[in-house]
Amino acid sequence: MGTDGKGSVVDQLASPENLSAAEQAAQIAAGSLRSVELVERCLDRIASSEEAVQAWTYLDPDYALKQAQERDEQRGLGFPIGPLHGVPVGLKDIIDTADMPTENGTVIDAGRKSRNDATLVSRLRAAGAVILGKTVTTELAFYAPGKTRNPHNPEHTPGGSSSGSAAAVAAWQVPLAVGTQTNGSVIRPASFCGVVGYKPTHGLISRHGLLSQSPPLDTVGVFARSVEDAGLLVDVIAGYDPADAHTRPMAHPRLQETARSAPPLRPSFALVKGPTWEAASADTRDGLEELRAFLGEACDEVALPSAFAQAHDLLRLLMVAGFAKNLAPYYEKGWDQLSDVMCAAIEEGRKVLAVDYNLAVEWIEVLNAGLGEVFERYDAILTPAAVGEAPQGLSSTGDPTFCTLWSLCGTPAVTLPLLQGGAGLPIGVQVVGRRGDDARLLRAAHWLSAQVAADSE
């Protein structure tokens, strides 16, 4: 199950870790699979592939197995069990856990432990999940890469900033993982690593207990190997939290249930190339055009108004201004321990005027109003998830340009591993939905995945 350091580690599967997370949860609930057995298999997988992938920054096998044993004992004693009972989950290392370090990808926080769990961690524990460990993040969840490598080819980047979460799921080390996205930090690494990445509507999941970069943009996202599993995980961690003002009271989203349901009508898609289409590789452009042809009358090319071209400048302004405020303690006490790119972004943010910041926030609603006209006619938008395959080399995490507009607008987005580039690495197709309409998006994405899979058989 190992690798020579150059080959893929994602094509070597074993049971039961090759089951979907939904199947794992169902078998544990039925008593046909023990959580200890599942966690042992995941740990074996990590032991055999971690030297090549390097997805984890904190992992205590004994503690992971102790959690699994407790889950098995709880079930055996007849206690109520949750929807993820006994299923292991990886957490990006900017998410606070009271029982594990949270180091935020910087030596400045080496050994840091929080006193409390993040809200989403509390919800995972209540659902019975096993917190397997902490996955690698880029420095303060920005651009400076961590140690993680792409499981398909360790000489290529896994993307960022949720590098370890994407790579761990892709390498079959864990069935589910949590990350975050401020620009392209879920969708891009999911595309590069060939897994499903789901960035929900901004504010669907509480960010209380997470490193804050830019509150108008910061969004919790997840990695899985199917749309259904992504919906299952977000069902557990979504919901109102008074500690996060960007969340709001709402009914249970029932994302997994809707995702796997049959659409009442055949979904319709808008192919949106966007202002940076020419940045996409030939493989990406050709793949999207082929997908459009495959969908036929169910997909039209739609051009967005010219106002959308300013999305990149608006997001950059909001992001660096957020850095200047929220990451100031790191800069002030340890600027010489930060990367040049991190310091430059914080310094850039200190020059942003309040009037420009407020205007940028107001543009979020203006652009969403424009997108509303698209979603009146179409169930979802199709667009690239990344420029192309994961670039060779580990000095960069790749270009997030195809995620920027959707991160700014706070719309839900899913990347599906439907394409492959000339170097044999995966390329994701990004499916975008109306803000707040996550269930409809997941249903359309699930339908699209099934159609493409059936056609390839």
Say what percent of the chain tops pLDDT 70. Answer: 97
pLDDT of residue 12: 47
CB 330 within 8 A of CB 339: no
pLDDT of residue 6: 53
- For the chain, the domain total comes to 1
pLDDT tens by residue, 182-199: 999 999 999 999 999 999
Q: How confident is the model at residue 2 (pLDDT cuts 50, 70, 90)?
A: very low
**Could you list the residue range(s) of the whole structural domain that residue 90 is in?**
21-261
Q: Is 44 exposed, middle or buried (0-12, 13-18, 19+ CB in 10 A)?
A: middle
Separation of alpha carbons 146 and 157, rounded Å:
10
Q: Would residue 447 count as lying in a domain? A: no
Q: Would residue 130 count as lying in a domain? A: yes
pLDDT of residue 11: 59
Give the count of beta carbons closer than 10 Å to the beta carbon of residue 262: 9
Answer yes or no: is pLDDT of 13 > 50: no
Separation of alpha carbons 65 and 77, rounded Å:
18
* Residues near 166 by beta carbon (within 8 Å), at least 6 away in sequence: 158, 159, 177, 179, 186, 189, 190, 192, 193, 195, 197, 223
The arithmetic mean of pLDDT across residues 78-93, rounded, is 98
Separation of alpha carbons 414 and 251, rounded Å:
22
Q: Would residue 174 count as lying in a domain? A: yes
Answer yes or no: is pLDDT of 217 > 80: yes
Query: Known catalytic residues?
Result: 92, 161, 185
pLDDT of residue 122: 98
pLDDT tens by residue, 224-269: 999 999 999 999 999 999 999 999 999 989 999 999 999 999 999 9
Name the average pLDDT for the chain: 96
The arithmetic mean of pLDDT across residues 2-25, rounded, is 70
Residue 127 or 1, more confident: 127
Q: Would residue 345 count as lying in a domain? A: no
Q: Would residue 207 count as lying in a domain? A: yes
pLDDT of residue 17: 74
Q: Would residue 219 count as lying in a domain? A: yes
Q: Would residue 172 count as lying in a domain? A: yes
pLDDT tens by residue, 107-148: 999 999 999 999 999 999 999 999 999 999 999 999 999 999
Nearest to 225 by CA among 198, 255, 261, 247: 198
pLDDT tens by residue, 25-84: 999 999 999 999 999 999 999 999 999 999 999 999 999 999 999 999 999 999 999 999
pTM: 0.96
pLDDT of residue 73: 98
Q: Are strands 269-271 and 299-301 parallel, antiparallel or unpaired?
A: parallel
pLDDT tens by residue, 153-174: 999 999 999 999 999 999 999 9
Q: Would residue 415 count as lying in a domain? A: no
Q: How confident is the model at residue 7 (pLDDT cuts 50, 70, 90)?
A: confident
CATH number at residue 108: 3.90.1300.10
Separation of alpha carbons 201 and 199, rounded Å:
7
Answer yes or no: is pLDDT of 300 > 50: yes
Helices (H) and strands (E) in the chain, counts: 15, 11
pLDDT tens by residue, 341-387: 999 999 999 999 999 999 999 999 999 999 999 999 999 999 999 99
